[in-house]
Amino acid sequence: MAKKSKKREDRLSDLPDSILIHILSMLCEDAEDSKKVVRTSLLSKRWQFLWKSVPVSLEIRFPDDCYSTTPAKWERDVLDYLNSTHRELHYWRSCHKIRKFSVVFNNRDPEKFVKDIDLWVYFASEVANVEHFKLISEGGYKFPQFAYKNTSWRKLDIELCMELNPLANVN
pLDDT digits (tens, 9 = 90+) for 47-64: 778 777 778 788 888 776
pTM for this structure?
Answer: 0.74
What is d(CA 33, CA 51) in angstroms, rounded to the nearest whole number? 12
- 106 and 136 in contact (C-beta within 8 Å)? yes
The domains of the chain are located at 15-54, 57-159
pLDDT digits (tens, 9 = 90+) for 109-145: 667 788 888 899 898 888 888 889 998 887 777 888 8
What is d(CA 6, CA 8) in angstroms, rounded to the nearest whole number? 6
Q: What is the pLDDT of residue 153?
A: 86
Sign of CA pseudo-dihedral 65, 70, 75, 76? negative
pLDDT digits (tens, 9 = 90+) for 60-117: 887 765 556 677 887 788 888 889 889 888 888 877 788 888 988 876 666 778 888 8
